[in-house]
Amino acid sequence: MLHRKRLVVFIAILLVLSFVSGCSGDGEPDDEFEEYKDYEEYEEYDDIEEHEVPLFGPDFNDDDLNGYSAEVLNLTNIERRKAGLQELKAAEELTNAAFARAEELVTLFSHKRPDGSSCFTVYAEYGVSYRAAAENIAAGQRTPKDAMNSWMNSAGHKANILNEKYSRLGVGVAAGEDGTLYWCMNFTN
């Protein structure tokens, strides 16, 4: 029985570590995946100090998670500049909403919140108004660079990152008890 429990836990961890999901303003997940054919290691990423994080049991603190959030914003703006787009501005209330969503992802990795409502209902709780919005989520990536690489290799996520109608971004990161990192990007105009 103990062996079977371990096997179930191992399979669950593998599924979480390999799953990335995106959602646009209609509240429905973007399940479409298309490999980004022109993808290469981004030279700009090499200049960014990367924090290697053990997969299980790290002692994260707020500074680590806030630093990861800022790195994702920076990497996002690198991609937007390369595409000739306006940089996204960090918005405190949107960042707070993204951190709240990242914490929820530890419990339920979905664009639905643990209470069953849409991911976008968190915006009102943090005073965020918008005409258009999107959410990218990911789980298991160990660094901001890994999270961005996953998103940029997914057509739906990449479309959110490079959508010219968005001007603001909030990024949240949370660590599960087992050390798995959960990532959330909230975009608005």
Most distant CA pair in the chain, distance: 57
Which residues is 183 bridged to in the sheet?
138, 173
What tens-digit pLDDT sequence spans the chain (189 residues)? 444 444 333 333 333 333 334 444 433 333 332 333 333 444 444 444 444 443 333 455 566 677 888 999 999 999 999 999 999 999 999 999 999 999 999 998 889 899 999 999 999 999 999 999 999 999 999 899 999 999 999 999 999 999 999 999 999 999 998 889 999 999 999
> Would you say 55 and 179 are in contact if contact means Cβ atoms under 8 Å apart?
yes
- 135 phi/psi in degrees, rounded to 5: -135, 130
* Among 111, 174, 181, residue whose Cα is nearest residue 139: 181
